[in-house]
Amino acid sequence: MSSIITVKNITKEFRVNKGRSGFLGSVTNLFSRDYRTVQAVNDISFEINRGEFVGYVGENGAGKSTTIKILTGILLPTSGMAEVNGIIPYKNRVENSKRIGVVFGQRSQLWWDLPVRESFDLLKSIYHIPQDLFRHNMDLFIDILKVDDFFDVPVRKLSLGQRMRCDLAASLLHDPDILFLDEPTIGLDVIAKDKIRKFLKEINRDRNTTIILTTHDMDDIEALCKRIIILDQGKIVFDNPLSTLKKEYGGERVLEVEFNEFYESLDKVPEINVFKEEENKKWIKFSREKYTAASIISKITENYEIKDISIHEPNVEDIVKTIYGNLY
């Protein structure tokens, strides 16, 4: 597969004013300043292939937004090199902007006081979108995102979910090769999130659009991404398929078992670890490397009367927490 994004040894440093507290400190700050250097991104490298859907995650301050701003041309790296679709984004911002789409969950690219329809028309002119492509894309967004329901509504009167659907449509009007998403489902209800996720899956599948998703919502990552890059303090600590993440760090599986009667303990099955109990229910952990679910269930049913049983796989959020826990 061909690489569409290349990042080589990127570092980004910021000078931050230390400041001084108190009245005397405030007066001193007027005449002299003391700075410290903060390293937001620290010598990171990765490649993303055309058509990939990548989760780019980390705690606040890990360097996610800084990386995205470099790739979109907003920030210039202190050192290193980034290339997006054959373009160095911070050296050729205009050309780069023609080939990418960007959605920031907290900010809108639509005109606040204009009806949605007029914002789309303005974007058509700005990007010089041919009429047939514009019409084709609008038909798609109407079909999937139902944006025509509020074409004549000023952007400021849209709900968060409605605005997000319009922002997604706006970012894809010019048919970009790459879509950068920063918290695209923040604050949305379950139904709105589901619509956004289905739309993103379809765009990625049908148009081969490369999508980079930064989010704190691990449900988004699990539902959408096949690869995950995890940042910590400006460094990449994990970069692999999501399946590898689960295999390497999701070593324990959980059985939720409801018994016909209350059992004080399950000492007849020493391979398991009961970590939660509620009346006749017990939640049991076991190692996927040592035991299969079938073998554990068989041993439990041989020794105890079971009413119901279900298997829970570790979710991505818990696994990411485990990774961060192992770092400190």
Is pLDDT at 215 greater than 90 in this prediction? no
pLDDT of residue 273: 84
Is pLDDT at 132 greater than 80 in this prediction? yes
Quote the CA–CA distance of 175 and 290 in Å, as a whole number. 49
Domain(s) of CATH 3.40.50.300: residues in the chain = 3-247
Residue 47: pLDDT band by 50, 70, 90 thresholds? Answer: very high
Residue 196: pLDDT band by 50, 70, 90 thresholds? Answer: confident
Looking at every residue in the chain, the average pLDDT score rounds to 86
Residue 22: pLDDT band by 50, 70, 90 thresholds? Answer: low
Residue 222: pLDDT band by 50, 70, 90 thresholds? Answer: confident
pLDDT of residue 46: 96
Distances (CA, A) of 265 to 11, 21, 159, 276: 54, 58, 51, 12
Domain(s) of CATH 3.30.70: residues in the chain = 250-327
Structural contact between residues 170 and 122, judged by C-beta atoms closer than 8 angstroms: no
Quote the CA–CA distance of 273 and 289 in Å, as a whole number. 15
Tokens 């894809």 locate to: 172
Give me the DSSP letters along 49-101: ETT-EEEEEESTTSSHHHHHHHHTTSS--SEEEEEETTB-TTT-HHHHHHHEE
Is pLDDT at 188 greater than 90 in this prediction? no
- Architecture of the domain defined by 250-327: 2-Layer Sandwich (3.30)
Residue 19: pLDDT band by 50, 70, 90 thresholds? Answer: low
Residue 195: pLDDT band by 50, 70, 90 thresholds? Answer: confident
CATH superfamily of 3-247: P-loop containing nucleotide triphosphate hydrolases (3.40.50.300)
pLDDT of residue 236: 92
pLDDT of residue 328: 61
